[in-house]
Structure formats: C-alpha cells, structure tokens
Structure 1
C-alpha cells in the first residue's frame, strides 16, 4: 500500500500484522518498520468483520504533570520515571507540564527537563518539550494551581526557554499586558493556549486574533458559557479549531464532551496526569500542593479537582464508551495533538512517520507499545 526508502545501515526491519489504522483508513495486513514506518501492506477493511488486533498510532499527550509517584516539579530524574510509566500505557510522545511556581522552582524543573528533551531514554516516551501551565494565569482562577501567578514578560519566557524548549504555554489573556505577550510568543513559534482565565468571550476572540490557537482543559478553570455572557468557553466553541479536553469523565460530562466535539474540529485529549497516576490511593504532591487520590480522582483538601489519574489508553476506552468509533477516538488521542504542534511525523501511521504504535486487543486492552521502533516492556504497567 505504501513504502518508504531502504533500511539504513544497522537498522533491522520488524513487522506487525492486524487491523492497521493508517492515515487513509483501516488496512488489514502488515506494517514493516524500524525506527520509522517502512511499508504498509494490505487492503482496506472494516475491522468489525474480523478478529485481528488493532494497530493504532501511539498516543500523544500534551498535558502531563506526573505519574508513578513523581511530579515534573520534582526536578532531578523525576521526568524519566514519568515518561517510563506513561509509555507503559501507550503514550509515545508528550509535553512535560509545569505548575505555577516561584521562578527558582521553574528554573530547576526546566533544567532537568532540558536534558531529557535532547535524548530519549530507553523504555520512555519521547519528551517533545515543555508545556508551561502558568505562572501567567489569572490569580482569581487558579483551580489547583498554587498562588504564584504573575503578569508575564517576554524576557522571562525567553530565559526559561533557553533552559528547556517551551513548545506550549498557557496564558490568561485578560491580564494586563498578556494580549501583547500572546502575540510575541506566537511570533517566537510557541503555541499559546488560553486557560486559568476569567476572561470574557471578547477577551478570548481577541487572543485568538493575536495568535492563540487552543484552550487548556476546556470547560475547567475558565469563565463559563451563558447565553448572555458566553465567556471563554463560548469563545472556544464558537471559534477554535483546536482545544484540549480531559476525558476522564470526572472533569467533563460526556454530553459536554460531545458538544465540544461538534463545535471544535480538532478537539484533542490530554490526561493532565499527576504523580498519583498509576499509584494507590493516598497523598501525593502536585507542585507545592498536597493532593489526595481517592474514588478514581485527585483532589485538593477542599474537594477541588487537581489533575487526574487518567492514562491515554483509558482515555481511548472512555471515548469509545461514550459513542465514538475507534478511528475517531484515535485521532483525538494522537493525530490532532500532533497536528496542533505541527508534527507530521507523529500521531499517524504512514510511510516515513516514526514507528510510534500501540497494539490493542478486541476489548481495547493494550498488549504492545512501540516507540520509535523500540518495544516497551509492559510487565510492570
């Protein structure tokens, strides 16, 4: 069906067979790969007509705070633990996401992240860069963020960006000076999301006109939709091409997820996962905040939702459980996030893309993960 160039010296060809979700639809056949996809052989199929496994693009998560008991703000080797734990749940590439914090804390966290962004560790998801979620947010809409919100400056962002590559930054556009900041950050090549905001509908529209291109965990920590005051949610539903959403079915009702899918063409899913992800119930840290994992969620002491324990394989299953077909769900956990970052070599399966793949059984249970051709050990997932 499709083919890439010949193998490079030292590369070995591997092969998987099953129902392959390619960029042009389902193919029943085989996929040859090394670090990248070499060729896909087979014919178009309806996977409901056979019993073979599903082979989908690896999951792309642009909002990750932690996993496996570690938080990105822990600095040191924490990100390696996080990236390995999430790889075992099918996340093949990710953005390490920071918390609103004093500048020395952010600098320490980014120092550790900068090293990992340059070189992927064996068994780990590819860390594509940093999602700076704050400190340039509205102090009146912190959500679970600590109270260290700042008015942003381009010089400050450049200083952080020199430590580790910032690919995405969350900004509250109504804060004084932030509309200019949105325009400046966009000119630097960063993606800007609107979030943790009390901004009006007009604030959101103005920010989109100045280069903002998505919304941080849609519905959560932003001004709500009302028929006379549409708020930031209204700006997203009326104008956005992209937005992230947390499909753990706790942060957002399934009906509200479906509303967003009808309104926003490339709505993509994130986990907003915390150190509690993949861990037993108990207390964990989210930046400087103590959070509590219980009843399938993560909350502050006052009950405020504080990130999640969601994994991307469960996100896929949740989307299917509320009525999406597997191909549509796959785009929302892989392709659209890659599109948002402008990455044509990830989030899809076709010749020459990275061999980032997940293999699932007919119940959508993860049975194999490949990251840039490396098979990940799932035994301790």
Structure 2
C-alpha cells in the first residue's frame, strides 16, 4: 500500500487528506487534517496536442510520438490524444497504423485528426493544400484500420457531407468535434444534432460571434457540446477564458494545450504540417501570414492560468481532467481522485507547480 498526503482536489472541493493506493488503483480517499501543503490533482487529460519537447505527433512517426507523450507526461498529462493536422490520406492512414501499438500500450489514448475536413476561410495554421470535404469513405477506412485508435475528428459542419461524416463517427464511437469553421449558428447546432460532442479550441479558427448571427461560438456554448479552451493567455484573453468557463460550466469546458513540438524548446523556426512556424517569446506563428500556429503550452501551465483567471481550483481541475476524461469515455478509469479509479495524479506545490507525477501508481520524473 502507498499513502500520499496533501490537499486533495475532488469534484467541487479541496479536502485535506490522504490517498491509499493499491498498486495502480486508488483504494481509498480519507480526510486527514495533518495532510500538509501539497496539492494533489487528478492527472491531466489533454484532448488536443500536436507535440512537445522538440517532438511531434503530426508526421506519424511512432518514436517521435512516444517522446512527445513522455515530455507532456512529465508536466502532468497522464492521458492524451496525439493530434495531427490536415494531411494527405496516406499520411493519416500510416499514422493510424503506426500509433495503434502506442494506443494499446497506453502511451497515448488514441489519435485526433484536426482536419483535413475544415473550412478554407477559417483554416488558421492548417495547410490549405490538404483541405477537402468530409469523406465517409476515408473515415471508414481509418476507423477500421485503427481498431479503436481513432478517437476524435474535427470537422467544419457547413461543408458538403459533414453531417453524414459526423453521424458516421458517432455511430462508430469516435468523438466528432466542430472546429475551424465558418458555420452559422444554425449549421453549428445541426452539427451537434448530428452527433458532434466537442468544440475544437472555442473562438480560435471560428467565425467571430455577432449579435445578429451568433455563429459557432454561441452555437457551441449554448449546446450540449464540451468546449475546448486553450488557456495560454495568447489564444484567449483570461477574461474570455473565464467567461466561457462560466457560461458553459466546468462540466462542458476542457482545457487543452494545442501544443506543438516547440513546446519546452528555445525560440526559433519549426514545422507544422509542412509549413514554417516561427516561435518568439512563447508565441508560434506561421511564417507566411502570421497566423497563430498551435501553442507552447503544457497542461500544468494551463491549470495555473485558469486559476489566475478566476476559475476555482476544483473547477479548473475538472476542466483539465474530469471533463476531458468523460469526453473520451474514460470516466470510470481516470480523471478524478476517487476510489476504484486509476492512480493518475499530479502533486503540486502551493504555487501549483509540478513536484511529482504519478501514472497508474508509478512515479515519473517532471520535465523542465
């Protein structure tokens, strides 16, 4: 048995106590007024990450993917999707085959395709060369090949064939996300009705809201979908982050990094989906037009930024762990500090900085 003491962040509360672990599983959560000042939160669950530590998920290279996952694990992300950007079908197919063993081994929770079924008008840092209309034929081949590895696909719901593609994903247990979209409010709501359950990085890569045409932002906030929020204080002003979190609530908002390989690395020139990216003072932008190109964020920093924006620690922890775990259908395995769940946790100091990370009952070393 292992005992870990501290201020335990549970749904809706922070309680002094200790966790009793039996191997990889939480056996008991007990209150204890002598628990100390460490803060214990559930291991982070990142639905949207392209890489980190100088390594990328976007090329389909399993060695690169393993190193990127290890980098983020050191920052507390115990469950993550490997996100690709818009790509030719051959790369998508090869990446699914290459990442299937990583998913089975638990290194990643699966693959997220951010594209290529996205709006050219709202493509952001996506490579316009690879954008195309949604294809059930392509998706069917990928889902079959992946045997559960394909976990989420971002789609612009206004595109021809989009609603059929979203319905196909829903029927096959894959999360359909609405993103990089110029959709109207009605088109967004139609996407949710067809089965979309996530909004890809809300506000970013979307038609701006307007009081006479609310567009996808309000369409998603007023729906049942879980809205991703990039809490790097660059993609979203802290006030907008707090507004969205209050509007939808912690059960319908998920902190994500949208991190690229430059995360944790020096400023310089990098690549994203075949496009040159320049990183300066933490901000990644496309060389060709200055569009924000992913982030250099880690989930521990996202949690700190959310709390600094005025979101309570229990709500921020739910947004970083509990809600995204539920999106992936993993709520009975991880995402909270409760008896019977996997011992995925992060020990933070009083300033919410990572001291130690545990995954499945085993300690891992934090990364710088």
TM-score category of the 2 structures, normalised to the smaller one: over 0.9
Aligned to 2:262: 276
Instruction: Describe the superposition over 1:335-366 as per-residue Cα deviations: whole angstroms up to 9, x where unpaired.
Output: 11112222122110111101000000111110
Aligned to 2:235: 251
2:182 to 169, 191, 198: 198
Q: Offset at 1:112?
A: 1.9
Aligned residues of 2:156 and 2:179 also touching (Cα < 8 A): yes
Q: In 2 relative to 1, CA 186–142 (structure 1 residues): closer, same or farther, beyond 3 Å?
A: same
Aligned to 1:219: 203
- Count matched residues: 359
Aligned residues of 2:82 and 2:112 also touching (Cα < 8 A): yes
CA distance in 2, matches of 1:218, 1:179: 20
2:313 to 323, 326, 350: 326
Where in structure 2 are there 5+ consecutive unaligned residues?
none
CA distance in 2, matches of 1:244, 1:131: 13
Where in structure 1 are there 5+ consecutive unaligned residues?
1-12, 121-125
Aligned to 1:139: 120
Aligned to 2:31: 42
1:62 to 44, 47, 61: 47
Give the TM-score, by structure 2 length.
0.94
Aligned residues of 1:224 and 1:234 also touching (Cα < 8 A): no
CA distance in 1, matches of 2:210, 2:191: 20
CA distance in 1, matches of 2:141, 2:225: 30
Aligned to 2:173: 189
Aligned to 2:344: 356
Instruction: Describe the superposition over 1:289-348 as per-residue Cα deviations: whole angstroms up to 9, x where unpaired.
Output: 221111111110121100000000000110111112211111111111112222122110
CA distance in 1, matches of 2:266, 2:52: 11
Aligned to 2:9: 21
> Where do 1:79-228 residues align within 5 Å?
79-120=65-106, 126-147=107-128, 148-164=130-146, 165-228=149-212
Give the TM-score, by structure 1 length.
0.91
1:366 to 346, 354, 359: 354
SS in 1 for 2:120: coil
CA distance in 1, matches of 2:239, 2:29: 37
Instruction: Describe the superposition over 1:90-144 as per-residue Cα deviations: whole angstroms up to 9, x where unpaired.
Output: 1000000011011112222222211100113xxxxx4111111111111222110
Alignment pair present for 1:32 and 2:20: yes
Aligned to 2:296: 309
Aligned residues of 1:73 and 1:106 also touching (Cα < 8 A): no
CA distance in 1, matches of 2:275, 2:96: 19
